[in-house]
Structure 1
Amino acid sequence: MKGLTKEYLDSIDDFASSGRDIFSLFSFIGVDGGSVSNIEIVGENVISDSFRYQSPRAIGISVKGSGNVTIEDISGSRI
């Protein structure tokens, strides 16, 4: 997730909570089945007390409208 820092996301003028995702590492959309395992997601974000929830977002793993998706042994840091 190189370059996707909180500061970069804050610099994009899109705070209407539109749900726009600018980056997803893995996406399962409308599928039946699939899996992700043994992955480490590393970002460049500096740990702070602030949490970003507005659009746009960077998402590690997204599951929308899907079933039977298995996600195991996932870790992350600075995301």
Structure 2
Amino acid sequence: MSRRTHLPSGLSRGLDFLIDAEWSPQQAFAVFELLSDLRARIWMRYGVELHELIRQQRSPPDVGDTDDIADPF
């Protein structure tokens, strides 16, 4: 991407996806609704699996086996 754009995917490189600057607000809203519907359908079908993947990606990395740590109490 030509400029630093924060995307939900975290991607910062790849092909630019151009949105026509001449879209009307109605056209932009139609695409927005389409994407919202698509997201809802994907979530209905894969919600549990997606939730687990999101949890795995956002959880801190394992720091090792906690059984080796002495109980301080």
The reply to whether TM is greater than 0.5 is no
Structure having the larger proportion of residues in strand: 1
Larger radius of gyration: 2
Structure having the larger proportion of residues in helix: 2
Normalising by structure 2, we get a TM-score of 0.26
Normalising by structure 1, we get a TM-score of 0.25
- Name the structure, 1 or 2, with higher relative contact order (CA <8 Å, separation 6+): 1
